[in-house]
């Protein structure tokens, strides 16, 4: 597994990380704990050094799972977690006192002395981003956090936060199926020397080629609320999968591997974090690192994708464009 550095931060991580959310949050099913621990440790064995979780996943149980699974590998891996939701209440909460409480609790659940990367999970309109960045800066000085990140923030927010406490990474959705970050976000990150962590690099499973218009989701699976994944829109969007399948066939790869390899080829400071609960899918996803797309193939994908417009919003209630305050 190759190593990448997130922006100018010096934080070295495997070029493909592991998103751990789906092991017990979001998909309506809680995976067997022992199998999940086995999968996380298999990822370490295969070279993964970057693991993503958050206090809200569960809540709390995902951090506990990640902490237990990775305890034997302290000093060898980097764990990213997040603050920003009012757990037990409603909405967001990034007030300084809340950030501090989350940091202390996450350290205990993760069984670590310092959080490698601490993200604000969503921009809180009620708390100036300068206050958020200032609080994390203090936690860094205290040795409780190493690096600061934002998730799903827009360019103005990124610049304001970065001016107070240098950002190591922005985490947002990015895939061949959702390319909004290319418009303003990626150029700004390149200018500022900030890394990009791509969640949902497989389009919530769609770009694996395992879904079609007959696919349905359990009511507890958050994908059942995603307009882009309803039967009618799934059928219309299969043109993306057809593109990936065509390239995959020539490369002796899978559509998922082409989707991740495409992301890796965009910039050397982009790190995708696909999630899975199955070891065979883990192995498949990590195999993307050995898929080299030529300039001609990248141009082919770019040209074909430019002619395709995704059908349906990526979240219920609208596409949830990156917040820019």
Report the C-alpha dihedral over residues 138, 145, 325, 203, rounded to 10 degrees. Answer: 180
Distance in Å from the first CA to the final CA of the chain: 37
**Buried-exposed string 259-279: b where 16+ CB fall within 10 A, e elsewhere:** bbbbbbbbeebbbbbbbbbee
Residue 118 host element (H or E):
strand 115-120
Q: State the catalytic residue, choosing from 27, 57, 119, 174.
A: 57
Find the farthest-apart pair of alpha carbons in the chain and give their distance in angstroms, rounded.
54
Tally of helices (H runs) and strands (E runs) in the chain: 10, 10
Q: How far apart are CA 64 and CA 82, in angstroms?
A: 14
202 and 241 in contact (C-beta within 8 Å)?
no
Distance, in Å, from the CA atom of 248 to the CA atom of 243, rounded to the nearest integer, reads 9
The alpha helices in the chain, defined as continuous H runs, are 33-45, 61-70, 96-110, 129-141, 155-164, 185-192, 231-251, 255-266, 279-286, 295-306
Q: Are the C-beta atoms of residues 300 and 243 closer than 8 Å to each other?
A: no
Report whether 131 contacts 96 (CB < 8 A).
Answer: yes
Closest to 152 in 3D by CA, of 187, 188, 198: 198
The sign of the torsion formed by the CA atoms of 227, 230, 236, 241 equals positive
Q: Is position 57 annotated as part of the catalytic site? A: yes
Active-site positions? 57
């Amino acid at each position: 597994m190759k190593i990448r550095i997130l922006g100018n931060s010096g934080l070295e991580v495997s070029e493909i990380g592991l998103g751990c959310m789906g092991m017990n949050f979001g998909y309506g099913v809680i995976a067997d704990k022992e199998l999940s621990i086995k999968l996380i440790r298999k990822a370490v064995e295969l070279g993964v050094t970057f693991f993503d979780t958050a206090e809200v996943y569960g809540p709390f149980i995902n951090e506990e799972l990640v902490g237990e699974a990775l305890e034997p590998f302290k000093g060898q891996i980097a764990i990213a977690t997040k603050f920003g939701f009012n757990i037990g209440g409603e909405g967001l909460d990034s007030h300084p006192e809340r950030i501090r409480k989350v940091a202390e609790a996450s350290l205990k659940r993760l069984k670590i002395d310092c959080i490698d990367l601490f993200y604000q999970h969503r921009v809180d309109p009620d708390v100036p981003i300068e206050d958020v960045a200032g609080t994390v800066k203090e936690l860094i000085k205290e040795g409780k956090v190493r690096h600061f990140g934002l998730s799903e923030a827009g360019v103005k927010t990124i610049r304001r936060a970065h001016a107070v406490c240098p950002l190591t990474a922005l985490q947002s959705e990015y895939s061949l199926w959702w390319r909004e970050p290319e418009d303003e976000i990626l150029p700004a990150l390149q200018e500022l020397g900030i890394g990009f962590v791509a969640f949902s690099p497989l389009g919530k499973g769609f770009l694996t080629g395992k879904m079609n218009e007959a696919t349905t989701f359990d009511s507890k699976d958050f994908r059942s609320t995603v307009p882009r994944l309803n039967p009618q829109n799934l059928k219309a969007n299969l043109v993306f999968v057809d593109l990936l399948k065509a390239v995959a066939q020539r490369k002796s790869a899978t559509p998922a591997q082409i989707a991740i390899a495409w992301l890796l080829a965009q910039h050397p400071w982009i790190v995708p974090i696909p999630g899975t609960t199955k070891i065979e899918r883990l192995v498949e996803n990590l195999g993307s690192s050995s898929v080299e797309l030529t300039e001609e193939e990248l141009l082919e994908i770019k040209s074909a994708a430019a002619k395709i417009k995704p059908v349906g919003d990526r979240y219920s209630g609208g596409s949830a464009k990156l917040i820019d305050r």
